[in-house]
Structure 1
Amino acid sequence: MKSAVAAVGVIAVSASLVAGCGSSSSKGASSSGGMTTVNVAYVPLGLFAPLYVAQKKGYFAANGIKVDLNKVTSGQDAIPLAASGKEDVVIGGFSAGLFSSINAGLDIKVVGSMNVADGSTTNAPSQIVVGKNSGITSVAQLKGKKIAVLAGPGGAGAFILGEILKSANLTIKDVTMVNLTSSDMPAAVASGSVDAAVASWPYTTQITSAGGTAIAVPPSGLASGGVVYGGSFAKNTKVATAFMHALQEASRDLQGDYRTNSALVADISAYTGQPVSSIKSAPYNVWEPTLAPLPQQLENMQNIWIAAGALSYSSPIESSKYVNTSFTG
């Protein structure tokens, strides 16, 4: 149960960070010249393109919002800041740390989803891939195998793995997860030090180019990240709703294969630093037009991370305690 202990440690650090933040003045949403400034922490990945398009196309401004964008390495890094009012919104991937923070009483609300899997085997940003000589051709054959996942048992990779394993009536307890960075996965799969990997593009392509095979993709509708509001910002109903409406407008612009739209690709490139050519050659992401939160998936996340030992509690937290669906209605 080392990972469960680690989760408790994360909360201790988060709590101390919140306490430290409390000693200085809170940024929070503020109004000036008829515009309300909203502080947004985001992970600069293409998965969160509605944020960039809404900013670039002026959808926030049209809703009376001036967005102050702040890059973070992971969404979890900014959760304590949102809870304390230092950030108003966090857009990033979800992890076991999010739920540990909620369980510890941090004041945050999950209000929206971001990219969702479409179940396509030809346009999958993430896949389970195996090596050339693994002999593995199906999910059922992963039982008892070592599988590389980014961020270990408490990361989004473990959640994706757990959902894929369900298709073969397996659980996360039927495999051994190995915590590897994405860049280390191709070599590990090729050498046989792991039997498979939950890898993302372009590492999936590196593995298959070396003779490996993709044996599974995330099920349709699966989402591993989203939009989190700080508790104080969520109470500012007018601005919080306007912010989400701007994101929804951008999400509608991104429906279908946006890679053919040079302006949208340029917007994504500007905020992620990813070259235009790379965006055009990568699998395209998919978003639900409304970006509605997905309470059932959030419960599934908890069940998988509980089974993996990444959460210290034994039953999922009820979604009514941390999910607010009113902003996307």
Structure 2
Amino acid sequence: MIKVLNMFILAFMLIGIASCDLGTSKSLNASALKDPIKIAVSGTPLSAPFFIAQQQGYFRANGLNVELVRFDSGVKCFDALKNKQVDLATASETVVMFNSFKQTNFSVLASFVESDNDLKLLSLTPQKYQQLDNLAHARIGIVKDSASEFFLDSLLIMYNKTQQPIERIYLTAEQLIPALLNNEVDIISAWEPLSYLLTQKVHVNTNVISSRGLYHLSFNLIELKETRLSTTEKLALLKSINDATDYIHTHPELAQTKISRVLDIDPSQLSYSWNDYSFRLSLSNALFSNIQTQSQWAIDNKLVSEDNSIDFRLIFDRKLFEKFISLEAGW
């Protein structure tokens, strides 16, 4: 009788242990099966913090299931967000500015990288256009409503060439180099890595003018205000990106190796522009001022309607960023 009783007790214990294990397993599986947070990112080194966060497991370590969806420009990333294909997107401040005239249902959560040498005017005959008077009647390929367009006009304003009769040819980012090589345009206003890729095809210096310091590009993390993400998830996301930027600063060579593998690009391509990038998480007044300046440029050039202009403070989620900063030391 005692032996039978002991067997019953053992059986109940095993059932209890199995139930606990099953409960734990279900909990883990529920976490693993939760729909991933989809983030649209440009397939360039500018997106390095996101790729590093994924490679190093920072998203998982901060309790997130993240899927990175690659596009070839910030314009397409924003479009994916607007069409609700993704939960968040990355794009330049110029893309943010243009879209603010069309809708205000999005927020900028943070900026994660800046560069003062990412955009360039490129030509197969750059020496011809180093005298900017020769831009008259040139066919210039640009990506509409992007940093490409603002950069071109910034140069024209800076060198007092806004009255030059130039022909703007709007193209997608992937069409810029083919159009130049096929003599469909004389110049392109392009971001990296297009400058590097072009030099690999023609093996000559294609820069029309030194543009370092003339324009500061930033890439920013954006969400729709109507989002399924909780504040906790967004804070964890900022933490993951911040961890990744720390890794980039403390392990620059390893970071470059990882990014060259993720993007399937030659390490020499990455080193070509790597030192131009400043990776850090911020939401600064400088970004706000830059967007304001670009907004006035767009209005003056009748690229947008002044009637649709907004107070850009409405699309900056300073409350979330300030909360992240206040919590950072306690993570």
TM over 0.5: yes
User: 2-side partners of 1:175 and 1:114: how far apart?
Assistant: 34
User: 2-side partners of 1:142 and 1:222: how far apart?
Assistant: 26
**Paired residue total:** 284
2:211 to 217, 242, 245: 217
SS of residue in 1 equivalent to 2:223: strand
Match of 1:107 in 2: 105
Q: CA deviation at 1:52?
A: 0.4
2:140 to 133, 138, 148: 148
In structure 1, list runs of 5 or more residues that go unmatched: 1-30, 119-123
Match of 2:273 in 1: 283
8 Å CA contact 2:101, 2:305 repeated in 1: no
- The 3 A distance-change label for structure 1 pair 47 and 56 is same
8 Å CA contact 2:122, 2:195 repeated in 1: no
- The 3 A distance-change label for structure 1 pair 84 and 210 is closer
8 Å CA contact 1:299, 1:319 repeated in 2: yes
Q: CA deviation at 1:228?
A: 0.6
Q: CA deviation at 1:212?
A: 4.8
Q: CA deviation at 1:280?
A: 3.9
SS of residue in 2 equivalent to 1:201: helix
Is 1:249 matched with 2:239?
no
Match of 2:13 in 1: none
Q: Which range is displaced more, 42-51 or 129-138?
A: 129-138
- The 3 A distance-change label for structure 1 pair 327 and 248 is farther
Is 1:325 matched with 2:318?
yes
User: 1-side partners of 2:43 and 2:213: how far apart?
Assistant: 24
- The 3 A distance-change label for structure 1 pair 233 and 168 is same
8 Å CA contact 2:92, 2:217 repeated in 1: no
Q: CA deviation at 1:135?
A: 3.9
User: 2-side partners of 1:129 and 1:81: how far apart?
Assistant: 29
8 Å CA contact 1:114, 1:227 repeated in 2: yes
Match of 2:47 in 1: 48
Q: Which range is displaced more, 154-163 or 101-110?
A: 101-110
User: 2-side partners of 1:163 and 1:252: how far apart?
Assistant: 33
Is 1:267 matched with 2:258?
yes
Q: CA deviation at 1:286?
A: 0.8
Match of 1:6 in 2: none
1:168-187 paired onto structure 2 within 5 Å: 168-171=159-162, 175-180=166-171, 181-184=175-178, 186-187=180-181
State the superposition RMSD in angstroms.
3.7
Runs of 4+ in 1 over 6 A off after TM superposition: 33-36
Corresponding letter in the other structure for 2:141: V
Q: CA deviation at 1:175?
A: 4.5
Corresponding letter in the other structure for 1:50: P
- The 3 A distance-change label for structure 1 pair 166 and 202 is same
Corresponding letter in the other structure for 1:271: V
Q: CA deviation at 1:90?
A: 0.7
CA shift digits 1:26-58 (9 cap, x unpaired)? xxxxx8379894221222222211100111112
Normalising by structure 2, report the TM-score. 0.69
- The 3 A distance-change label for structure 1 pair 52 and 33 is closer
User: 2-side partners of 1:73 and 1:154: how far apart?
Assistant: 15
Match of 1:10 in 2: none
8 Å CA contact 2:105, 2:224 repeated in 1: yes
SS of residue in 1 equivalent to 2:114: coil
- The 3 A distance-change label for structure 1 pair 107 and 283 is same
CA shift digits 1:267-318 (9 cap, x unpaired)? 323432x324354453214134224361122223333334444434456422
- The 3 A distance-change label for structure 1 pair 281 and 306 is same
Q: Which range is displaced more, 316-325 or 125-134?
A: 125-134
CA shift digits 1:62-86 (9 cap, x unpaired)? 2221212223354444546545765
User: 1-side partners of 2:303 and 2:74: how far apart?
Assistant: 17
- The 3 A distance-change label for structure 1 pair 83 and 172 is farther
User: 1-side partners of 2:40 and 2:159: how far apart?
Assistant: 38
SS of residue in 2 equivalent to 1:214: coil
CA shift digits 1:241-279 (9 cap, x unpaired)? 221121122123334993xx1x3234323432x324354
Normalising by structure 1, report the TM-score. 0.69
8 Å CA contact 1:148, 1:185 repeated in 2: no
SS of residue in 2 equivalent to 1:64: coil
Match of 2:9 in 1: none
1:62-101 paired onto structure 2 within 5 Å: 62-79=61-78, 82=81, 86-93=85-92, 98-99=96-97, 101=99
Match of 2:19 in 1: none
Percentage of pairs with the same residue:
16
Match of 1:27 in 2: none
In structure 2, list runs of 5 or more residues that go unmatched: 1-29, 323-331
SS of residue in 2 equivalent to 1:245: helix
CA shift digits 1:190-230 (9 cap, x unpaired)? x6x75543233225536984465531315366115321112
8 Å CA contact 1:148, 1:194 repeated in 2: yes
Match of 1:226 in 2: 220
Match of 1:162 in 2: 153
